[in-house]
Amino acid sequence: MTSSTQPSGAEFPSTVLPRSEPDPGRADRLAGARASLHALGRLLRTAAGVTALCLVVSSTLGSCSGTRASRLGSPTKLAPAPAAVEAFREARAALRERATVTARDRDAARTVAEIDARIDAALERAASAAPDWVAPQRLLDDRARAQLDGPRALAERRARLRGADYGAADLYLAGRLEEAAGSVRFPMAVALDRSLSWPHHALSVDRELAGDLRAAVAHQARALDRANGGYEVALFARRLASLLRRTGRAGDGVTVLRGVLDDVRLGAIDRLEVSLDLVELELAFDRTEADRELGLRRALGLIASGLTGRSETANVVRRLSLSPKARSDAAFLTDLELALRRHPTYANDEELFDELRARGVHSVVVALERGLAPVDAAVPLPPTGDVWVDLERAFAAGRDATLAALDRLIDELPDQVLDADGALADPRLAALVATARATDFDAPLGRVELAEACLRCGWIGPASALARDVDRAAEPALVERARTVERRALAAEALLAELARLLESILGEETVFDIGAVPLADWDDLGPPKAVSSKLDLDELLARIGELVERYAAAIGWDDEDLGAAVAKSPVLRFGPFGAVLVPGPVFVARDEFLGVGAAGERVPGLADVLDRLGRMALLGQPPFGEVDGTVLRRLLATERSGEHLGMPWSGMVILCEGVDAVGRRSRSGLSISGAALHEGYWVDVGSQRSVLATWRGWQRLVTERGSDWARERLESFQLPLDLGAGGVERFERARLAPSLLAAEALRVAVLLERAQARPTDAPADADLVTLTELIQVVGNHEEGHLTDRTRFLPLTKNPLGIAAIAIGEGFSPLGLERRLEYRAQLVSLATVPDPRLPLVDLLEAAAVDARLETVHAHAYRRLLGDLLELWNERLERDPDAWPTVRRDCYLMYQVHRLAPSELHELALELARREGLVASGAD
């Protein structure tokens, strides 16, 4: 076993500071070691693994010094000076304070600026009081990176390494700013000073990314054993416990966290963060009753302490709601209310406690996670930033609030889901808005009618809430209509929830029992429940969904005969060995008719019809030699559209959705999926782009608060000198992909600065400079790029030479072909959207993804970014005067914000020509 896969000594350290006698010969050996490391530096960049590197470096140091490397790596370690510790704690407290400030707070900009100044000043004091302490320097680097000053910070770290007196901390700090490429520095840092904790922590992260959790645990344990101060103890212990839980050793994780809580070096924030993680482990289902009771008491104590922020409180309550409890429900709810009343944020929130007593802890979790204010019809509610949350809140606040929220909803929607008059294009959604505007739904009749309209659109939550609030003293017929809406909404919610669980079960993430179609009256002849296999094919999955539909159809109010059987026989397009895909509907299109599955324009029966009634659509399919997968989306609009890009036509069904009820395989693995091309069109999730818009808005607020001078200064200094090393060639190094250092955010700032300066003087100051419509167009043009390839290559006999050329270029690799198609689609978007800097942001974000975690999209985008920089570099070599502001001795990746949209379009079009994406005569 090598040192990276097997821990030396105890795997669960005592966290006592390692001690050794002072070593008078250490300085000379360090100088020799640094010389050896300089010679090995270039070799290390191409080494195969961190484990081998650590062994090589250690043995080299041992031979250079004439003593064992372990002796070199055991210097005396002193605790940080008390003044440094106090300043660092002050900075961390200010960081927590900053996190509580939102854009809706009064004087938010001034408050944030004041807090930022305190944070930076405290960190500088800590670094000055303890120059060898890594923790404050690490946070200062993080602060610089977040303020688009990362290239300067990295340049300074690299300059430090070019001197003769650098240490292990310098190697670590430079390596972490260099992202994936900097991982080769961590074993060098370990070799220089084995007692420094941070390189071991970095090696743990590196091993985790490589999928070697055992080695990650071992390195993290070593980091904890060498922790210097309470901050490091808490951080490393929390990460070690998390790794242990992932390796099936949650009990050991509990032991670690309970042990460090007794460490006197922990400050109040350290102790809070450890306790929050400990609660998660203690309340887990697989723990003993004693552990869960201790976790419950700890959780209630944390809430009552008043130290937890809003999100932390919501997380603790959510965990409590999911955990079995060794006490009665009444006792638990009482104890939770008492704890919340001692928290200063919630002490006087009587509406929250009314909700707790009336509807239980789960509804309170929702309220806490959304940060809802008390509902009072007489008080205007501030928008949360989520139009759907605002709408649900408004329904409870009365007609005026609801109409204002509906107007805000329409204003927030992209143009792609609106008609020419700016109204909702979907007929049912348009009817709902018309009902809301024409109905006095403060009266029982109007509230019932609006609830029914919501249910028809698939707005299940608002429908249920409206119906539940109908006065039970109203006419009996109205009360019965309201109860019918409630029952049907509950059944519809149950169907969608069980469908989501069924899709989760095909990944083995949740056990689902085959009880969907069992008549409830046959209680005496049920037999043992049988778990649904996670190895279903598409037909078997549709049969299971059909059973669920049959079970809940009558309760939802559907009286169709054999609806479950129709779902099981849903139209499916089969491509032989190339897989199968459900026809998503809601209507057949021309391609469906061509393939013989249905007449164009007719409604798609089966699952598509069922989900259309609920305002949803399903994407189910089975790839060649792969497992079935699926997702269920909340539909805003489904319509047929057509167009062309770069001279190549496309057409198909375009489906725009707002969020998901059941996520697909890739989304469950942590990826954010914004859209996908289908066999006859594509879909786009508007909701996913709202989070992207929120990022743009955040940077817009920052540019507004800091001013245009700050933005220009940051952009001017956002560049990194070339790291040529021994024998490096400036021409080739200039176009290389460098550490991202928030290059995507720098481009965002450049776009916002330009648009802010061009904005009309009478425009609202808070109007979006980048709109949701633009972001949806970027995704849409990408998916339409896929459809142009469908036009170009299908049927397979249409363009066999073109298909063969791509297949040969990718070595006939299915993964390579998938990456190439994503490359081409994003290139179409880059070449066709009005402002190509928006899809370029996606390319720069992909550059920050570690190669070991690369998705198909990230790999394709990195490749496209590299080709774009290479082409720009070629033109820069031919005509340096064309870009007088571009520094040739710095990386181009940090200077893409100097490209005008027209220049970027020209580069993209040239790449598109080389890729064969521009049709003959399109120029």
Neighbour tally for 59: CB within 10 Å: 12
Structure tokens at 127: 């670094």
CA–CA gap between residue 703 and residue 701 (Å, rounded): 6
Q: Residue 528: what pLDDT? A: 57
In Å, how far are 744, 794, 807, 824 from 816, measured between CA atoms?
26, 19, 8, 12
User: What are the strands of the beta sheet with 629-645, ordered from one edge?
Assistant: 572-574, 580-582, 616-622, 629-645, 648-662, 681-685, 675-677
In Å, how far are 319, 337, 572 from 303, measured between CA atoms?
12, 10, 52
CA–CA gap between residue 69 and residue 29 (Å, rounded): 10
CA–CA gap between residue 537 and residue 535 (Å, rounded): 7
CA–CA gap between residue 455 and residue 431 (Å, rounded): 12
Provide the terminal-to-terminal Cα distance of the chain, rounded to the nearest Å: 62
What pTM, to 2 d.p., does this model score? 0.83
CA–CA gap between residue 339 and residue 297 (Å, rounded): 10
Nearest-5° Cα angle at 913, 912 to 916: 85
Q: Give the number of C-alpha atoms closer than 13 A to the C-alpha of residue 717, restricted to the C-beta side.
A: 16
Which three-class secondary structure state does DSSP give residue 521?
A: coil
Nearest-5° Cα angle at 821, 819 to 824: 110
CA–CA gap between residue 65 and residue 72 (Å, rounded): 9
**Residues β-bridged to residue 620:** 630
What are the extents of the domains in the chain? 387-504, 535-690, 707-915
CA–CA gap between residue 856 and residue 862 (Å, rounded): 10
Are 615 and 428 within 8 A, CB to CB? yes
Q: Residue 38: what pLDDT? A: 46
Nearest-5° Cα angle at 760, 757 to 764: 100
Q: At what angle do helices 772-793 and 686-706 cross, to 10 degrees?
A: 140
In this structure, are strands 648-662 and 681-685 parallel, antiparallel, or unpaired? parallel
Structure tokens at 458: 């698939």
Structure tokens at 828: 């179409």
Which three-class secondary structure state does DSSP give residue 654?
A: strand
Structure tokens at 43: 């070799």
Residue 208, φ and ψ in degrees, nearest 5: -65, -45
CA–CA gap between residue 233 and residue 220 (Å, rounded): 11
851, with CB counted inside 10 A (0-12, 13-18, 19+), is: exposed
Residue ranges of the chain with per-residue pLDDT less than 50: 1-76, 372-384, 517-518, 523, 669-670
Q: Residue 511: what pLDDT? A: 54
- Provide the sign of the torsion angle of the four alpha carbons 228, 234, 237, 242, taken in this order: negative
Q: Residue 255: what pLDDT? A: 94
CA–CA gap between residue 495 and residue 165 (Å, rounded): 67
Kindly report, residue by residue over 831-854, the tens digit of the pLDDT: 999 999 999 999 999 988 877 777
Are 355 and 363 within 8 A, CB to CB? yes
Q: Give the number of C-alpha atoms closer than 13 A to the C-alpha of residue 712, restricted to the C-beta side.
A: 6
Which three-class secondary structure state does DSSP give residue 640?
A: strand
Q: Which residue type occupies 274?
A: V
Residue 638, φ and ψ in degrees, nearest 5: -130, 120
Q: Residue 44: what pLDDT? A: 38
Residue 726, φ and ψ in degrees, nearest 5: -85, 115
Kindly report, residue by residue over 360-417, the tens digit of the pLDDT: 887 778 777 765 433 333 333 344 455 566 666 677 677 787 888 788 888 889 999 9
Structure tokens at 281: 């482990």
% helix / strand / coil in the chain, to the nearest 5? Answer: 60, 5, 35
What does the CA dihedral 833, 836, 839, 844 come to, rounded to 10 degrees? 170
Instruction: Note the Cα 696 to chain centre separation in Å.
Output: 15
Are 319 and 282 within 8 A, CB to CB? no
Q: Residue 53: what pLDDT? A: 28
Q: Which residue type occupies 160?
A: R
Q: Residue 412: what pLDDT? A: 84
Structure tokens at 239: 């990460």
